[in-house]
Amino acid sequence: MPKDTGIGASTPRREDVRFLTGKGRYTDDIDVAGQAHVVFLRSDVAHGRIASIDTSAAEGVEGVVRIFTSKDFEGVGGIPCGWQITSRDGEVMREPKHPILAEGKVRHVGDPIAAVVAETRAQARDAAEAIVVEIEDLPAVIDMKAALAEGAPRVHDDLPDNLCYDWGFVEENREAVDRAIAEAAHVTTLDLVNNRLVANPMEPRVAVGDYARHDGSSTLYTTSQNPHVIRLLMGAFVLGIPEHKLRVVAPDVGGGFGTKIFHYAEEAFCTFAARALERPVKWTSSRSEAFMSDAHGRDHVTRIELALDADHNFTAVRTQTLANMGAYLSTFAPSVPTWLHGTLMAGNYRTPLVYVNVKAVFTNTVPVDAYRGAGRPEATFQLERVIDKAARELGVDPVELRRRNFIREFPYQTPVAVEYDTGDYDATMDCLLEMIDRDGFPARRAESEARGKLRGLGINCYIEACGIAPSKLVGQLGARAGLYESATVRVNATGGLVVMTGSHSHGQGHETSFAQVVADMIGINEDQVEIVHGDTANTPMGMGTYGSRSLAVGGSAMVRATEKIIAKARKIAAHLMEAGEDDIELKDGKFTVMGTDKSVAWGDVTLAAYVPHNYPLEDIEPGLEETAFYDPNNFTYPSGAYACEVEVDPETGKVDVLAFAAADDFGNVVNPMIVEGQVHGGIAQGIGQALLENCAYDAEGQLLSASYMDYTMPRAHDFPMFQVDHSCRTPCTHNPLGVKGCGEAGAIGSPPSVVNAVLDALASGGHDVAHIDMPLTSGKVWAAMQGRGDK
Amino acid sequence: MYDFELLKPATIDEAAAMLAEGDAQALGGGQTLIPTMKARLAQMDRLVALSGIDAIRGVCTDDDGRICIGGGTSHATVAREYAKSYPALASLAGRIGDPAVRSRGTIGGSLANNDPSACYPAAALASNATIVTNTRDIGADDFFQGMFTTALEEGEIITEVRFPVPEKAAYEKFIQPASRFPLVAVFVAKFADGVRVAVTGASSDGVFRWSEAEQALSDDWSADVVAGLAAPGAEGMISDLHGDGAYRAHLVKVMTARAVKGAV
Amino acid sequence: MGKVTMTVNGKSRTAEAEGRTLLVEWLREGLRLTGTHVGCDTSQCGACVVHVDGAPVKACTVLAQELDGAEVRTIEGMADADGSLGTIQQAFQDYHGLQCGFCTPGMVMSAASLLEENPKPSEAEVRHYLEGNICRCTGYHNIVKAVMAASGQEVAPVAAE
């Protein structure tokens, strides 16, 4: 029976009421009295030397307050990078300065050159147009292979080869992997591209900087997934503002998907300018501006080789990837193609030997960083595609080939550093096959063929590492931050409580699901629990929300803090009932002396904590407020099996997704409704990547997909209803809730099954197409059917 | 947007007078012009909104049985009014943009803009419509003069569009998935004296008539006849992120055959 | 600058507008009705959809001065008279038809127009009608369910399919 309250219940979301009535408070809804507006003048060329900037005419435009260029930022730090990678040769990665406003050169279309602060946004834009900038064009490097070629133009003058790092993992395994591949009974090789994407949360980024003259403190309102991280990076590394003089507020945030993790120049600018001008400064990104200033995602070019023995056991995997960093290093960019990617290359399989090589490359494009899944979709895609290709080459069933190689004993130490704690890959595959009626597929295919259409079925598995992450481990791997999470639980005298969490909700529904957990632990109504997040002034230092970590890490901190609360409340209850602490039981919001009918209500205990007339003051302090920081000792490992059924129109190449099914193992589930919503959204983004979305540059570095007129956002009629199931549960063994995280799974697991399905459909029509690079647009699929595809 | 003065005439004459004076531009439904202005790609001192002119809104049928649509009539209205009497045209109007765009966008605005990927030019050209302005009548064959170019003079306003109703017609649209404009769309209209086939989205010259198909279909009205034709040449076809010239040329043929098959 | 007056959610409201002031700017900045959102600049995303004289309109693609005297309904006017969620709003909550909430106002306004035109739409009709409203969070699955449910049609219960 589904529960109707607490952990496991599909409690309707409390935050919905304000969103459904227009009462949400997003950053752009915040206007601070006296605010001025900033508009950035951005480069319209991909690469060039700034010869001169003449602001004299612009300064005369009505309403202009001040115009800033890089000269105003002398002595101000660049935007920092939060993760350092070490190359195979032991050298640390190259880390060029990322200035707030371009210094000397522009390095991508959209690179900000100057900033105009004016009374209104329109005036600021008028003035920005009046700035005269002379740029000497330089040849742009867009393609990664060209960027690494000898004599290529340099994105950064002091970096001769545009290489950020050359990473090998596990370097000690390299020779053994080479040998295993040389000696294998069969080797399947696949060259593929993981297409560049733009995250496109529906709310564009906004920043409002404010400065308080009376105490010299700064406040930044910003569209962030992690306000404390922004406070730390911007305060300590860019502007030199101590954290006690800097408050960062991320109110309602309209989606993030990774792109709102990072610290951006516009945030630093607004904070800096507000202090310089002693008045609030607001920036609101347009969507067109977002396309050239939000960090992009993915953009890998990969060759993967899978070696098998005569019995079709996987013996080795070797991959070489070029990963695009763009023109500068965004906050967590270096970690994405390395630790978030290489560590997943074992997948769900017992492959004993794995070697991953990644060269990160600077190009004259927008910086690339984490986007939903971050590294793990890239790993899953190449592995699950090469397995399908191997199955076809060997003439074996792709599901059976996977099953033959499944890991079945846990914990399982992979050859790529991580240790999976739990999982049951047969169970999710069984569940999937039941959902999709695989046996009925031939009949469905025949029905499609009768209508002149080609039908295909694609299946794949995935595993991901999330619940990011053990601080000690990531520190060894180059992270410049810890990745714990925090919670303060403040119980009020009348028994209601407030949880202040370092996690941040921008669509995930924490205000509801977190309250379910705490209410369940104490046995009170969910509406007695309020969740506060998104403001550094009233939440403990936390690392925010990404990497499917909120419940696994932030929820664990909250559980720990609540446990401390309960322990203390038990002491108070024991005192009130004159009983031994060990004899007290908390159930349904009531402390009872076990084996008696003696009890005291939760509210009486909390009242006693704040009105301590009858209270064990000699043992414990008054009040009832506890903080916990939780640092996980491993990642969590959600896994699953996904299937996609498509129909291809052979006349036009158009692909229609007819069915999509996902069987996930997320461990324990707090709110099934929210979990399913997360999976739906992830699948939609994964299908979007596979069929529709593509961030494209031309050879000169002009962004071709610079608005929704050319960047295909999936719409309602691009999808069928999804079938999702999360009944296979192997709870995480190392966090108190046994949860694994569900935010990214859909986006990680879905692209390979879509591509596998399309190729299966084409094969049924006699088109022997080994691979088509994403997105599988109708034009590309049609060309492939004409025998003139990419490969 | 650059600022401008918004003028709201109540009659065509007032509007014409306003447009004749200085740097002024007409505003139909604004569904293309306003985004263009937001991107600061258009600038004018005065914008003359035609939405207040009742005389150019609404639909009727003339003595020759032609359907007459006021230039300021919204796509939503056309979609609603002609579902029975000219279903192909209604279906086209009902698939432009999205419901909110169809509430505001007008037939006059669409034709005057002549976007190479707009829907209405295909209907007007295939139906051999007459574009009526405040000064004259212009036949569709003379009206469309290449991408974003028409026979309209500066300040001339489309007051009405008159469509002869074909025996059979259909509009087949293959959308560009991001913008939802046609990647290629074909309007086929069968009249007693012959067939007209107009193609939009495909050519960098804007809407055009595919004469080989017209000839063949006039002789033998069947989808199979289209299958036997060579696709139009890929030269001159638009080639972009969403499809190259060869693909567009191929789609012209596919969409034409489907339109013939589905014509009502 | 000029004064523009419209009937907004049943009340006569007046605020300044330049020639270039868009309806969405007039609502958000002039009236501080910030429920209507701006998610793009090319008339694609639909976060700004409101009703003007009963029809759905993208408030980012219409000039405020042009609508002097019009009747406008926004998300702030969709609740029932007693302040409780209206039928469509309630269905969105019941069926988890929103996550970050940013596209939601436009989605609800478009859904309301759909149900006015077509009180019992099929799933395909719902998906087609919402063509001009982009959601990045939900994959549309639960939005479609919510609209179907709001129309009084049977849908699978939440989190049980």
Burial class (CB in 10 A: 0-12, 13-18, 19+), A640: buried
* CATH number of residue A80's parent domain: 3.90.1170.50
Which of C47, C79, C140 minimises the CB distance to A716?
A: C140
Q: Note which residues in 20-39 of chain A have CB less than 8 A from chain C.
A: 20-24, 26, 28-29
- Please judge whether B243 and A779 are an interchain contact, meaning their C-beta atoms are less than 8 angstroms apart: yes
Nearest Cα of chain A lies from the Cα of B205 at a distance, in angstroms, of 20
Q: Is B153 on the interface with C (CB under 8 A)?
A: no
Query: Are A540 and A442 part of one and the same domain?
Result: no
Question: Which residues in chain A are contacts of C47 at CB distance < 8 A?
Answer: 202
Work out the mean pLDDT of chain C and round it to a whole number: 96
Note whether residue A670 is domain-resident. yes
Q: Do residues A178 and C112 touch, judged by C-beta distance below 8 A?
A: no
Both A606 and A731 in one domain: the answer is no
A125 contacts on B by Cβ (under 8 Å): 40
Domain shared by A574 and A710, yes or no: no
Residues of chain B contacting residue C43, judged by C-beta atoms under 8 Å apart: 31, 34-35, 97, 101
Residue A163 forms part of a structural domain: no
Whether the bond between A411 and the residue before it is cis, its omega within 30 degrees of 0, is: yes
Residue A186 lies in a domain: no
Q: Taking CB atoms and an 8 Å limit, are C37 and A26 in contact across chains? A: yes
Parallel, antiparallel, or unpaired for β A412-413 and A419-420?
antiparallel
Backbone φ and ψ of A222, nearest 5°: -150, 155
User: What's the token pair of residue C21?
Assistant: 């002031």
In chain A, which residue's Cα lies nearest the Cα of B242?
A779
A122 and A236 belong to one structural domain: yes
User: Which residues is A192 bridged to in the sheet?
Assistant: A302
Residue A289 lies in a domain: no
- Of A250, A284, A318, the one marking the end of a domain is A284
Contact B35 C133 (CB under 8 A): no
Angle at A342 between CA A341 and CA A345, to 5 degrees: 95
| Same-domain check for residues A620 and A640 | no
Count of Cβ atoms closer than 10 Å to residue A533 Cβ:
26
What percentage of chain C has pLDDT greater than the value 90?
Answer: 96
Residue from the list A20, A202, A685 with its beta carbon closest to the beta carbon of C39: A202
A601 lies in the same domain as A668:
no
- Residues of chain A whose pLDDT is less than 70? 1-2, 789-791
pLDDT band (50, 70, 90) for residue C161: very low
Q: Mark yes or no for CB contact C140/A204 under 8 Å.
A: no
Residue whose structure tokens are 């035109």:
C117
Percent helix, strand and coil across chain A, each to the nearest 5: 30, 25, 45
Query: Do A452 and A488 belong together in one domain?
Result: no
User: And the tokens for A430?
Assistant: 């069984």
Band of residue C160 on the pLDDT scale cut at 50, 70, 90:
low
The stretches of A234-313 forming alpha helices (DSSP H) are 265-277, 287-293
Q: In the numeric block, which tokens belong to residue B33?
A: 């012009």
Give the confidence band of C159 by pLDDT, cuts at 50, 70, 90: confident
Which of C41, C94, C130 has the CB atom closest to A12's CB atom? C94
Q: Is residue A192 part of a domain?
A: no
Q: Are A643 and A581 in contact (CB under 8 A)?
A: no
Domain C87-150 has CATH 3.40.50.920: no
Nearest one of B6, B9, B92, B94 to B44, comparing CA atoms? B6
Question: Do A572 and A429 sit in the same domain of this protein?
Answer: no
Residue written as tokens 């002789």? B219
Return the C-alpha torsion angle A166, A167, A171, A174, nearest 10.
Answer: -60
Q: Which of C41, C52, C132 sits opposite B39 (nearest CB)?
A: C41
A713 touches chain C (CB under 8 A): yes
Residue A642 covered by a domain: yes
Asked if C103 and C48 touch (Cβ cutoff 8 Å), the reply is no
- Please choose, from the candidates B76, B9, B81, B71, the residue with its C-alpha nearest in 3D space to the C-alpha of residue B46: B9
- Whether residue A183 is contained in a domain is answered as no
Answer whether A780's CB lies under 8 Å from A762's CB: no
- For residues A526 and A584, membership in a common domain is answered with yes
CA angle, A524 then A525 then A530, to 5°: 100
Whether residue A129 sits in one domain with residue A107? yes
Residue A212 backbone dihedrals phi, psi, to 5 degrees: -100, 110
Write the pLDDT tens digit of every residue in B86-123.
Answer: 999 999 999 999 999 999 999 999 999 999 999 999 99
Measure the CA–CA gap between A788 and A109, rounded to whole angstroms: 32
Closest-CA distance, B89 to chain C, in angstroms, reads: 19
Chains A & C: contacts with CB separation below 8 Å: 191
Strand duo A300-308 + A186-194: pairing: antiparallel
Q: A698 CB near a chain B CB, below 8 Å?
A: no
CB-based contact C159:A726 (threshold 8 Å): no
Cβ contacts of C38 on chain A, cutoff 8 Å: 28, 204
Q: How far is CA A273 from CA A135, A209, A253, C114, in A?
A: 25, 8, 23, 46
Number of domains in chain A: 3
Q: Which residues in A218-257 are b (16+ Cβ under 10 Å) and which e?
A: bbbbbbbbbbbbbbbbbbebbbebeeeebbbbbbbbbbbb
CB-closest option in B3, B34, B51 to C61: B34
The beta-carbon neighbor of B1 closest among C20, C62, C133 is C20
Is A5 contained in some domain?
no
Residues of chain B contacting A653 with CB distance shorter than 8 Å: 247
- DSSP letter at C27 equals I
Smallest Cβ–Cβ distance between A779 and the set B1, B178, B242 belongs to B242
- Tell me, yes or no, whether A671 and A778 share the same domain: yes
Looking at beta carbons, which residues of chain C come within 8 Å of B47? 19, 63
All domains of chain B in start order, with CATH: 5-163 (3.30.465.10), 168-262 (3.30.390.50)
Chains that touch A (3 or more CB pairs under 8 A): B, C
DSSP single-letter state for residue A94:
P
- pLDDT band at C1; cut points 50, 70, 90: confident
Shortest distance, CA C18 to any CA of chain B (angstroms): 7
Which residue out of A710, A717, A785 would a mutagenesis test of the B interface target, given it has the greatest number of B Cβ atoms within 10 Å?
A710
Of A228, A257, A284, the domain-final residue: A284
Which residue range is the domain that position A239 belongs to? Answer: 31-138+205-284
Check CB contact under 8 Å for B178 and A705.
Answer: yes
Residues of chain C with CATH 3.10.20.30: 2-76
Q: For residues A572 and A685, state if they share a domain.
A: no
Q: What is the ipTM of this complex?
A: 0.98
Amino acid A1: pLDDT: 52
Q: Is the pLDDT of residue C145 over 60?
A: yes
* Residue where the block lists tokens 């209500």: A601
Provide CATH code, domain C2-76: 3.10.20.30
Under the banding of pLDDT at 50, 70 and 90, the label for residue C158 is confident
Could you say which of C18, C44, C56 has the minimum Cβ distance to residue B103?
C56
> Rounded CA gap, A10 and A513, in Å?
9
Residue A527: which CATH number? 3.30.365.10
Write out chain C residues lying below 8 Å of A39, CB-based.
none
Residue A464's pLDDT is what? 96
Q: Encoding tokens for residue A420? A: 């999976």
Instruction: Give the Å distances, CA to CA, from A714 to A122, A256, B35, B178.
Output: 32, 17, 21, 8
